[in-house]
């Protein structure tokens, strides 16, 4: 598990390889990742948007931006957490993801960035 704390918000990530399949003569590798957003600050915060950088060994980086996470903009109170699951398809057997959440602090109505630590997406037998 990879973890990082930014401005009192702890991000924990665990990624898992789900399998490979061929589509239109291209091999794809499926990964699922679980993310927990834990509020260790004293303020109520809300996740507004996400910004991802997906890197592969055989392709240029992809950038994904959007509102919330999996259709939600969770409000996380002090001492509470929000966990969600999502996935990613790569055409390379080795890759990584990193990113940023944009959040708002309800105490002062200021937006701030929270780093999502870089986590690896590797097909297990590739590294043996």
Q: Say what the pTM is.
A: 0.91
Please indicate, yes or no, if residue 55 is contained in any of the structural domains: yes
pLDDT digit string, tens, across residues 43-82 = 999 999 999 999 998 878 999 999 999 999 999 999 999 9
Confirm whether 7 is domain-assigned.
yes
* CA distances in angstroms from 94 to 32, 53, 82, listed in the order given: 14, 14, 28
Query: Do residues 10 and 38 touch, judged by C-beta distance below 8 A?
Result: yes
3-state secondary structure the chain: CEEEEECCEEEEEEEEEEEEEEECCEEEEEEEEEEEEEECCCCCEEEEEEEEEEEECCCCCEEEEEECECCECCEECCCCEEEEEEEEEECCCEEEEEEEEEEEECCCCEEEEEEEEEEEEECHHHHC
Q: What CATH number has the domain bearing residue 54? A: 2.60.40.1470
Does the residue 17 lie in any domain? yes
User: Quick check: is 90 in a domain?
Assistant: yes
Tokens of 36: 């927990």
- For residues 25 and 11, the answer to whether their CB atoms sit within 8 Å is no
Q: For residue range 3-49, list pLDDT tens digits in order.
A: 999 999 999 999 999 999 998 898 999 999 999 999 999 999 999 99
In a domain, 128, yes or no: no
CA–CA dist 35, 12 (Å, integer): 6
Is 19 within the bounds of a domain?
yes
Q: Which pLDDT value is given to residue 127?
A: 63
Q: Which structural domain, as residue segments, surrounds residue 78? A: 2-122
Domain assignment present for residue 127? The answer is no
Work out how many domains the chain is built from and give that number.
1
**pLDDT per residue over 93-113, tens digit each?**
999 999 999 999 999 999 999
pLDDT at 128 > cutoff 70 = no
């Amino acid at each position: 598990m990879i973890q990082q704390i930014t401005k009192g918000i702890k991000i924990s990530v665990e990624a898992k390889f789900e399998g490979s399949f061929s589509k239109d003569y291209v091999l794809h590798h499926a990964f699922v990742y679980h993310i927990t957003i834990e509020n260790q600050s004293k303020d109520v915060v809300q996740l507004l948007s996400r910004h991802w950088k997906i890197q592969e060994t055989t392709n240029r980086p992809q950038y994904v931006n959007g509102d919330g996470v999996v259709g939600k903009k969770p409000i996380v109170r002090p001492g509470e957490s929000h966990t969600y699951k999502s996935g990613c398809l790569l055409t390379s057997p080795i890759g990584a993801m990193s990113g940023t959440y944009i959040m708002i602090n309800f105490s002062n109505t200021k937006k701030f960035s929270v780093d999502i630590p870089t986590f690896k997406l590797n097909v297990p037998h590739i590294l043996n």
